Amino acid sequence: MPSDPLYPSRDESLDSARQNARGVRYARELEGHITWLDTFSGTALGVLSVASGIYTYLGVSSLLDENGAMSVFAAIAYSTAVSVGIFVFWSYLMRLFPAVRTNRARGGLLAAMGLGSLAIVAMSSWLNAAALAGSAAVEQHLAKTVQDYQVALERAHEIALTGQALERDVSRTRQSFEDLSQQEAEGSLSGLAGRGAVFRVLRQKAAELTALETQIAAQTPLVENAFTEGNTILSRMRALTVEPGNVEARSVEFSEAAVRLQGLITQLRQLSVAPLVERAAQDLAESVVLPELDSSTAAGRADQSATITSVLEVLGQRAATLERAAQAVQSLEQPTDVTYTPVSSADAVILYARNFVPSWAGAIAIDLLPAVLVFILAITHGAIRNGRDGSGIEDTMTLAELRAAVVALRDVEGLAHLPPAAPRPTMDPPQEPATRREAAE
């Protein structure tokens, strides 16, 4: 026969009592563990806070320009405030978050935890990362700057060499005019052998191209010397990025080398002969001094004039070819302007954060590790409450509490059996001497 839900059977009552007893034992076991863990949780939290404060001090010290007593005091004050703030913040949460029961209260504390964690990262974690990986981040900045300078130097050298290659085009054009002048001297062009008007025009332009060719050739050793010196400076800059010692002192020498290297890159850009060749090509066709036709006959002078016209057409074509070649060199992508900007260790850690993920993880973990302890305590306290739910006071009492309760009960019962206390006699207030004599009569 099924039992009445309002009046459970004896077996159901026994099963419920056993479940309650198991839940109480489980809760007591967890409480024992928490009691033991509480003996050193505060100390552990203090150690984490102090460690974070030490690294915060190192990070703050790297940001301060001065090394005087006031700067040291300021760094100590800031790191102490960070340590105290971290300790108090997580102490509050380790006590309050596991104790709340409503979802609204838990949500509010979670929001407070998130906001506080962001504040801790903002005031401490990035400085911890600067202390852990600041020197390495500055060296990374130096190495990247060296790479940028190397690309710019090689690009400027490449453009300068491309401009020097215009010497072959100038030489070919010069040679063509010299050949034409030789043909004119033999009478193959105008039909008049000798060094007449046509010969002088051809020699005039050949001389101009020869001067241009000489100028271009004079630039070649300058370009090579600048490139060699730039590579020497780059080698020294690479050595500074990996040398042992204080990175700040190395940064000063690195900055001086960067200034010299930037000057060499600018010099290489100025040594490019492409603008010179372009201007010379324009002058080649536009500035022509026509000599007087020196043939003794009208027919000869007509032949000279026609030949000079043909020479000018050829001259214009060759000049246009040279001008296009020079413009092609000038249209090449110029090297990027590189400027070395010294950065502090904290700024370098932020600038190259992707390269120092383990350092950032360690710096944040040392500050936010107590959050894991908060969740562990919250889960454990929730399990304790679940174990005690449905249990009466008689199920949760320990043997010591039961003994104390029995003793207290006996004391109460003993007081109940005592006879009522007799009323105390009232004492008359003190009277004046005259009043007392009147009372005696």
**Segments making up each domain of the chain, as ranges:** 10-99+369-404, 135-344
CATH number of 135-344: 1.20.1260
Judge whether residue 114 has pLDDT over 90. yes
Q: For residues 235 and 214, is the Cβ–Cβ distance under 8 A? A: no
pLDDT digits (tens, 9 = 90+) for 118-130: 999 888 888 888 8
Based on C-alpha coordinates, what's the Rg of the chain? 49
Rounded to whole angstroms, the Cα distance separating 348 from 133 reads 9
pLDDT value of position 187: 59
User: SS3 of 4, please?
Assistant: strand
pLDDT value of position 133: 81
Helix 197-242 and helix 126-164: axis angle, to 10°?
160
Provide the pLDDT confidence category of residue 22 given band limits of 50, 70 and 90: low
Rounded to whole angstroms, the Cα distance separating 37 from 50 reads 20
For the chain, how far is it from start to end, CA to CA, in angstroms?
Answer: 94
Query: pLDDT over 90 for what percent of the chain?
Result: 11
CA distances from 233 to 150, 225, 250, 262, 371 (A): 10, 12, 14, 10, 51
Q: What is the DSSP string of 68-123?
A: SHHHHHHHHHHHHHHHHHHHHHHHHHHHHTTT--SHHHHHHHHHHHHHHHHHHIII
Helix 274-286 and helix 126-164: axis angle, to 10°?
30
Rounded to whole angstroms, the Cα distance separating 6 from 375 reads 40
Mean model confidence pLDDT for the chain: 77
**The tokens 């964690």 sit on which residue?**
117
* Partners of 4 in the β-ladder: 7
pLDDT digits (tens, 9 = 90+) for 333-365: 888 888 888 888 878 888 888 888 888 888 888
Structure tokens at 309: 């016209």
**The tokens 């246009």 sit on which residue?**
320
Q: What amino acid is encoded at 77 in this protein?
A: A
Judge whether residue 113 has pLDDT over 70. yes
| 19 CB neighbour count, 10 Å cutoff | 12
